[in-house]
């Protein structure tokens, strides 16, 4: 005998939302999962974060599509939870809510000059070249030669790579047309990637570093002294860190092969890490309201390994540049005052995805863990959340005894409020048009750049 249907609602359709849904649907025959998404298009940072020249990473979309088309799953795009419908209302309609709305805010550098024209957050810059509707007005000024990126994680390297990639390579990706045109006019030919600690603490992975090292038309420019003592410390490093550091050492210090020397000689663009530096001020051009440089404090390290701390030496150094991109992390934001939120850690406080002091509320993805880790990390932690939820059903901790109205109730609320959700087959119309538009120019897709235009296609 089938027990009554359990209806679960998921907020956000990025990897966390879809992986949580996938696990719930697979593990249980009588659970209905409804996914609510703020934008008319699904997949979160897979569409709007992952770099356009990483198409293989986006293959997860195929799995998410299968989940969305599962007979017990429904997608409701264009629904902003917290505005169009409250979490309280969702709780009335569903047995359980999984919040997986990601990290849409930004950690600010917190130094004077941060608001000057010519200073952008990586979040906005990435959103701009990836077609996030809210970032299309950014139109970054790329008329300078030197760009400084603050932060040394994978996002920083994505941005550096996009700034320096040969246009021919980008033309074959799903980067937006306005971004392609701006990059075609770009004069940026030197990108410095600044970190407060040393080569053994960079936050990127080897794949991204290797892509920089091999980027056609570019050569590395490092500071040899930054690598003092690094070779000696190699043997004690854990394996992934060791391989990453070896590649950095080789790039910075080793005599290149003849072929590589030839390649570097021809290169017209430069990239390099600058270690042991923290920004203290973004400098303006005298008499002119735009960025002219960054003042960096020189640090030394106390301690070693991952835990090493950057300590100020008192020295500062000015680096002239016309573009600053801060890439020091994303940050989750609260979307509804009734949901507990830890503003210091910028996550929803939880144990294994169970939101503290809030029965029936769960969380997954970057909102649960903080904005770190790759899609595979997000997948595992989302499966954990789904397991917690199912355990609570089994143990009776989550009350599923009474029937819940689910999407019936929410749909009529939304209708009253004039909100018209986008279904998954509506999204497929957008997808289809984007793919066809892309074909014309030899790209996998040409993204639609405004919510209004997306809605027009969805309803056409």
Q: Binding mask 129-158 vs ligand FAD (x if CB under 6 A, - otherwise)?
A: --------------------------x--x
Q: Between residues 37 and 392, which has the closer beta carbon with respect to ligand FAD? A: 37
Using CB under 6 A as the binding rule, the residues of this chain from 227 to 256 that contact ligand FAD are none
DSSP 164-207: HS-HHHHTTS---HHHHHHHHH----EEEEE-SS-GGG----HH
- The least CB distance from residue 106 to ligand FAD, in Å, is 11
Mapped onto helix, strand or coil, the DSSP state of residue 340 is coil
Q: Is 379 in the site for ligand FAD (CB under 6 A)?
A: no
Contacts with ligand FAD: how many residues (CB under 6 A)?
A: 35
Please check whether residue 289 is in contact with residue 257, taking contact to mean a CB–CB distance below 8 angstroms: no
Exactly one of 184, 374, 403, 452 binds ligand FAD (CB under 6 A); that residue is 374
Q: Is 326 in the site for ligand FAD (CB under 6 A)?
A: no
Q: Between residues 299 and 326, which has the closer beta carbon with respect to ligand FAD? A: 326
Q: Is 335 in the site for ligand FAD (CB under 6 A)?
A: yes
User: Is 373 among the annotated ligand-binding positions?
Assistant: yes
What CA–CA distance (Å, rounded) separates 7 from 15? 20
Angle in degrees, CA 392, 19, 454, rounded to 5: 125
Q: Which one of the spans 33-41, 65-73, 176-184, 292-300 is the region binding ligand FAD (CB under 6 A)?
A: 33-41
What CA–CA distance (Å, rounded) separates 345 from 252? 36
User: Is 136 among the annotated ligand-binding positions?
Assistant: no
Q: Between residues 45 and 346, which has the closer beta carbon with respect to ligand FAD? A: 45
- The least CB distance from residue 125 to ligand FAD, in Å, is 9
Q: How far apart are the first and last CA of the chain?
A: 43
What CA–CA distance (Å, rounded) separates 5 from 17? 20
**CA 231 vs CA 212, 226, 248, 409: distances in Å:** 21, 11, 10, 63
Please check whether residue 16 is in contact with residue 368, taking contact to mean a CB–CB distance below 8 angstroms: yes
- Listed residue (77, 96, 156) closest to 328, CA to CA: 156
- Listed residue (222, 223, 217, 224) closest to 264, CA to CA: 217
Q: Which one of the spans 44-52, 162-170, 226-234, 315-323 is the region binding ligand FAD (CB under 6 A)?
A: 44-52
Q: Is 74 in the site for ligand FAD (CB under 6 A)?
A: no
Using CB atoms within 10 A of its CB, is residue 79 exposed (0-12), middle (13-18) or buried (19+)?
Answer: buried
Q: Which one of the spans 39-47, 136-144, 311-319, 410-418 is the region binding ligand FAD (CB under 6 A)?
A: 39-47
Q: Which residues are documented as binding site?
A: 16, 37, 45, 81, 152-155, 196-197, 208, 366, 373-375
Q: Which residues are documented as binding site for NADP(+)?
A: 152-155, 196-197, 208, 373
Q: Which residues are documented as binding site for FAD?
A: 16, 37, 45, 81, 366, 373-375
Q: Which residues bind ligand FAD (CB under 6 A)?
A: 11-17, 36-39, 44-45, 49-50, 54, 57, 80-82, 100-102, 104, 126, 155, 158, 330, 335, 365-366, 373-375, 378
């Amino acid at each position: 005998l089938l027990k009554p249907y359990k209806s679960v609602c998921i907020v956000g359709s990025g990897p966390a939302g879809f992986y949580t849904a996938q696990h719930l649907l697979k593990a249980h025959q009588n659970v209905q999962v409804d996914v609510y998404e703020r934008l008319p298009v699904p997949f979160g940072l897979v569409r709007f974060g992952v770099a356009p020249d990483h198409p293989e990473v986006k293959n997860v979309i195929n799995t998410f599509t299968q989940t969305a088309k599962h007979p017990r799953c429904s997608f409701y795009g264009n629904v902003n939870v917290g505005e169009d419908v409250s979490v309280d209302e969702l709780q009335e309609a569903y047995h359980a809510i999984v919040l997986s709305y990601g990290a849409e805010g930004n950690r600010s550098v917190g130094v004077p000059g941060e608001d000057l024209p010519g200073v952008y957050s990586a979040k906005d810059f990435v959103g701009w070249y990836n077609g996030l509707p809210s970032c299309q007005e950014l139109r970054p000024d790329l008329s300078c030669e030197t760009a400084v990126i603050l932060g040394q994680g994978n996002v920083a390297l994505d941005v550096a790579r996009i700034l320096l990639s040969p246009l021919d390579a980008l033309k074959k990706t799903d980067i937006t047309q306005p971004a392609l045109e701006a990059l075609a006019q770009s004069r940026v030919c030197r990108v410095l990637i600044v970190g407060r600690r040393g080569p053994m603490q960079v936050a990127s992975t080897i794949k991204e570093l290797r892509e920089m090292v091999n980027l056609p038309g570019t050569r590395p420019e490092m500071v040899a002294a930054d690598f003092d003592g690094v070779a000696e410390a190699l043997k004690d490093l854990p394996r992934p860190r060791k391989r990453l550091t070896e590649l950095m050492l080789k790039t910075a210090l080793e005599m290149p092969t003849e072929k590589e020397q030839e390649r570097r000689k021809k290169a017209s663009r430069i990239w390099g890490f600058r270690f042991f530096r923290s920004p203290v001020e973004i400098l303006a051009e005298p008499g002119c309201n735009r960025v002219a440089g960054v003042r960096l404090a020189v640090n030394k390290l106390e301690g070693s390994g991952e835990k090493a701390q950057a300590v100020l030496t008192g020295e500062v150094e000015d680096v002239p540049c016309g573009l600053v991109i801060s890439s020091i992390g994303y940050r989750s934001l609260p979307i509804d005052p009734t949901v507990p939120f830890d503003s210091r850690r910028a996550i929803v406080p939880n144990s294994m995805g169970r939101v503290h002091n809030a029965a029936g509320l769960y969380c997954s993805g970057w909102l649960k863990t903080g904005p770190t880790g790759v899609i595979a990390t997000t997948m595992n932690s989302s499966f954990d959340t789904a397991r917690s939820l199912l355990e609570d059903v089994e143990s009776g901790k989550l009350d599923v005894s009474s029937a819940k109205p689910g999407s019936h109730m929410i749909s009529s609320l939304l209708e009253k409020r004039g909100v018209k959700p986008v279904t998954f087959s509506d999204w497929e119309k957008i997808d289809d048009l984007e793919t066809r538009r892309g074909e014309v120019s030899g790209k996998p897709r040409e993204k639609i750049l405004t919510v209004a235009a997306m809605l027009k296609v969805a309803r056409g």
